[in-house]
Amino acid sequence: MKSLLVTGGAGFIGSNFVHFLMETTDVTVTVLDKLTYAGNRDSLKGVPEGRVELVVGDITDAVLVGALTERADAVVHYAAESHNDNSLQDPRPFLDTNIIGTYTLLEAARRHGKRFHHISTDEVYGDLELDDPGRFTEQTPYNPSSPYSSTKAGSDLLVRAWVRSFGVQATISNCSNNYGPYQHVEKFIPRQITNVIDGVRPKLYGAGQNVRDWIHADDHSSAVWTILNRGEIGQTYLIGADGEQSNKDVVERILKEMGLPADAYDRVIDRVGHDLRYAIDSTRLRTELGWEPRFPHFEQGLAETIAWYRENEAWWRPQKAATESRYTEQGQ
């Protein structure tokens, strides 16, 4: 594989994947990204010129998608509307991008006979009880809760159908919650870090008992690269790094790491339909494809992420005021 089409490569995880490819492989990359509020061309700053091209466009544009797919060896599909809270305010863009966009890409991969990897989320499985000892596996039935996760589940099912019906050479990965550099300040961890930098108290939804299974974006990237090269066509792989933490514990850790008392946060109204707990069993990826995470210590990865937001205020500052005013309107 010499050239990749990476959709959503100016977003959080997609841009981390492009940086990962530049550092660890010799592939060239075309990024197709609409540069919505969540996309930022500055997230690709510093990549070697000549190896990465950013094409600003929409994944629902069949003509553009067809042309870019034809000239790539494989498509890695990250582009999505990705924020649960936004999907509760206005679901429509989630249907357009996550469903129609994925359909458009699958049709192009089918027409041009290209390898396709679909990036998805553990949220398609719904949630687990807080006291459930179980974790999600590739066999867990789909049971999504939010407009966001239901459109991601729908897009996964489209991929499976295009494999079975049309022989598209596709794989799927469902990953747990990512953290790291270049994450939009609407998301939990960057929102709280940048609030603290601004002298604003972090905002915890409800009692903060909800559990998320955190993985560093670099570990997500290495897992995707592994699946792209060694994954079995038609298969799904769960990606996780055993990083379960309650939201309350994460906020307290951020506050302590940033030199403030652990209880210097506010409780705000809870998310509607808030999933309780996500937890990934990534045994299949580890045993069948030999993948291992390189950031097993959440505390260290979180400290590095805090340092990144302190050092890169110019990257996040333009998004901050509008994001917080949207949350204020929602009482969050």
Shortest CB 31 distance to ligand NAD, Å: 9
Contact between 326 and ligand TDX (CB under 6 A)? no
- Quote the DSSP letter at residue 231: P
Active site residues: 122-123, 148
Residue 34 near residue 60 (C-beta atoms within 8 A): no
Closer Cβ to ligand TDX, 69 or 98, answer by number: 98
Which of ligand NAD, ligand TDX, none sits in contact with 247, Cβ below 5 to 8 A by type? ligand TDX
Shortest CB 60 distance to ligand TDX, Å: 19
Q: Which of residues 82-121 bind ligand TDX (CB under 6 A)?
A: 82-84, 121
- Cβ neighbour number for residue 234 with a 10 Å cutoff: 15
Query: Which H or E run contains 313?
Result: helix 313-329
Residue 38 near residue 7 (C-beta atoms within 8 A): no
Residues 6+ apart with CB under 8 A from 332: 85, 203, 205, 268, 269, 271
Closer Cβ to ligand NAD, 94 or 265, answer by number: 94
How long a stretch of residues is the chain? 332
Closer Cβ to ligand NAD, 114 or 216, answer by number: 216
Q: Please tell me the distance from the alpha carbon of residue 244 to that of residue 262, in angstroms, as a whole number.
A: 19
Place of tokens 């302590």: 256
Of 58-66, 153-161, 185-193, 279-287, which part binds ligand TDX (CB under 6 A)?
185-193
* Residue of the chain from 33, 123, 127, 281 that contacts ligand TDX (CB under 6 A): 123
Binding site for ligand TDX (CB under 6 A): 82-84, 121, 123, 177, 187-188, 191, 203-205, 210, 212, 247, 271
